[in-house]
Amino acid sequence: MKPPRSFLLAVILVFTPWLILQAQENLTDLYYSGNYREVIDASSSLIASGDTAFNTFYLKALSEAQLGQTPEAILTLQQALVLYPGEKRISRMLARQYFDAGDYTQARHGYDDLVQWDSTDVSSWLKLAEMASFRQQYDEAIEALNQVLAIDSMNLSSLMMMGDILNRHNSSGAVIYYERAYSLYPENQKAAYALGNWYIQFKKPGKTIPICEHMLEIDSTSIKFSKLLGYAYYKAGGPGQAVEWFDHAVTLGDSTVFTLKFKGISHYLKTDFGQAIGALEDAVKKDTMDAEVHFFLGASLSTIAEMDKAMYHLDQSLKIMQPDSSIVSRIYSEQGNIKRLETEYEEAYELYSKAWNADTTNAISLYFMASILDNSMHQHKEALVDYQRFIDALDQLPEKEESNQGVSIRAIVEDRIISLKEELFFKDDL
């Protein structure tokens, strides 16, 4: 005998909520087990069957975000907000997804709403400051950071960001924030390095020395603090100690022009001309456009009667010290071309950057910088910035100065900007 139809319906009505509850509990287990794809599939089925539980939408969006499916996460969160208007967890996550997708306008609206709801929301204020700084709206950034510091005066991120913004504008006020950050977090490398650099920049290298010594007690293999300590001694008039620490940096594997240059100059100041020549010759091989290297190398060579070589380097120094900016830019560009062909992409990028800094009408250098980041180093977010700088530079040129080549490259770059924005939107690459 078959059970009555009404009995079957009653069973379904009783067990369906229980089954949904069990499925929702399984979602949590799947998520914390890292099975994000299964969470998405299961939650999608539940939503399709009419489930409107907060956890179902929230775990689905979290899983999509974990897999880099930012557009899908945004759509899920938008649907959830319709069901749960004003839910702060959804609003916060949605703002973050907009931020990760590069949609800073929507992200800013989201974080603005969050701080309106809760003026003590430190993380949202920090995001607003970060976005304002990214847009070079530094007054807005400072206002947001002041809000953070009023809530949490020990917040390291806000102290460092405030110091960096003020330092970018050569403001002596930066030291207040760097000093506070370092006093609160004396083992933090970023705070220590920023403060040490600031002291040197503002002609107080003696104050940099104990900072570096403290950091090297923590990690004696730090190249960064070894060379900073060497430079601090050099600026403080202690070439002997400077040589010691530059030598230590070289022993650790440092072969940068900076270290070789100031190691060589420090040897020169000690009248140790043979050692000076060795270091400066290594430096000039890496950067032929450094006037100081040529000068001190020439001066050192003159002490051992290598007069022809000495005159050559002194002449090079004079040429470089008072050059035409467009020629310097062209030289750096040619060096960048050579390094690019040699697949030394980081060096090539630095040279093209020097070319741009020397002559801001040389817009093609920005294109090569962006192209290296995009095609060779695969740093697509940074490439997008340099591509946009290239377009902005072309817009600043008088029409007669924009060549046919510039026009054709502009079209290529504009297409690539669109493609990159789409790529960064659909994957977690920001």
At 30, list the tokens: 């799947």
Give residue-wise pLDDT tens across range 62-79: 999 999 999 999 999 999
Task: Map out the domains of the chain with their CATH numbers.
Answer: 14-118 (1.25.40.10), 327-430 (1.25.40.10)
Long-range (24+ apart) CB contacts under 8 A made by 227-232 are 227/254, 227/256, 227/258, 227/259, 228/193, 228/196, 228/197, 228/200, 230/259, 230/262, 230/263, 230/266, 231/200, 231/205, 231/258, 231/262, 232/196, 232/199, 232/200, 232/205, 232/206, 232/208
Give residue-wise pLDDT tens across range 127-173: 999 999 988 899 999 999 999 999 999 999 999 999 999 998 888 89
In angstroms, the CA 174 to CA 145 distance is 13
pLDDT at 171: 83
pLDDT, block means (10 residues), the chain with 430 residues: 48 45 74 91 90 92 93 94 92 94 92 95 95 90 96 96 91 93 97 96 96 97 97 96 97 95 96 95 93 88 79 78 67 71 84 86 88 85 85 76 60 77 60
Helix%, strand%, coil% for the chain, nearest 5? 80, 0, 20
CB 242 within 8 A of CB 266: yes
pLDDT at 11: 39
Backbone dihedral region for residue 274 (phi beyond 0: left; psi -120 to 50: alpha; all else: beta): alpha
Q: What is the pTM of this model?
A: 0.65
pLDDT at 95: 95
Instruction: Identify the sign of the CA torsion 357, 360, 364, 370.
Output: positive
In angstroms, the CA 366 to CA 356 distance is 7
